[in-house]
Amino acid sequence: MITRTLKQLLRSACFIALLLPLATAAGGEAPVSSLRQLARRADLIAFGHCQSAQSGWDEQHRFIVTTIRFQPRRTFKGTAGDSVTVKVLGGQVGDQAMTASQSTAMRTGEEAVLFLQRSRFGDYFVIAGGADGKLPVVRSTRSGRPLIRGALSLDDFGHLLAGPTEAQ
């Protein structure tokens, strides 16, 4: 039987492993200091999958923007319908491609936990923290359960976001 202290130690180790990639941001941006800080910025935090990803030019034909239809399966913060629209900078239209240093992409069928903020410019979300706001999810080869970055269960992730409780 695992003691409460050992469970707390294991959760702390998973939290540190999850934060290591968030410790520094590319392109001279200010680092995201913690997962909880990123969570505070988000209006919606959800695990789900990309139903579709369509790239196109913005209205002024200056930037390529990819519109993602994301189907949440589990929410950790906020509420979501059957699917939400997420827009990210970058993508490919014909033979023209564009990338942005702190942006991220999703492929159809890809699973992830997304930290989403409502856009000020329309009825859609953007990914909070850029690339830091997307946590890749893979399925366990043994159980088939979703694991964040191949190591952290969704339940443990929920506990990490909630932080320590009085009972612990």
C-alpha distance from residue 137 to each of 14, 110, 118, 153 (Å): 14, 8, 23, 9
**What is the spatial distance between Cα 58 and Cα 61, in angstroms, rounded to a whole number?**
5
DSSP state of 141: T
Q: Does residue 147 register a pLDDT over 60?
A: yes
C-alpha distance from residue 150 to each of 5, 7, 46, 143 (Å): 24, 19, 17, 12
The pLDDT value recorded for residue 25 is 35
Residue ranges in the chain assigned as alpha helix (H): 4-19, 35-41, 154-162
Percent of the chain with pLDDT over 70: 77
Tokens read off for 130: 């850029």
CB 92, CB 55: distance < 8 Å: yes
Q: Residue 72: which residues within 8 A CB-CB, separation 6 or more?
A: 44, 46, 47, 48, 80, 83, 84
pLDDT band at 26 (very low <50, low <70, confident <90, very high): very low
The domains located in the chain, with CATH, are 4-162 (2.40.50.120)
Q: Does residue 165 register a pLDDT over 70?
A: no
Q: Does residue 89 register a pLDDT over 60?
A: yes
**What is the spatial distance between Cα 23 and Cα 148, in angstroms, rounded to a whole number?**
17
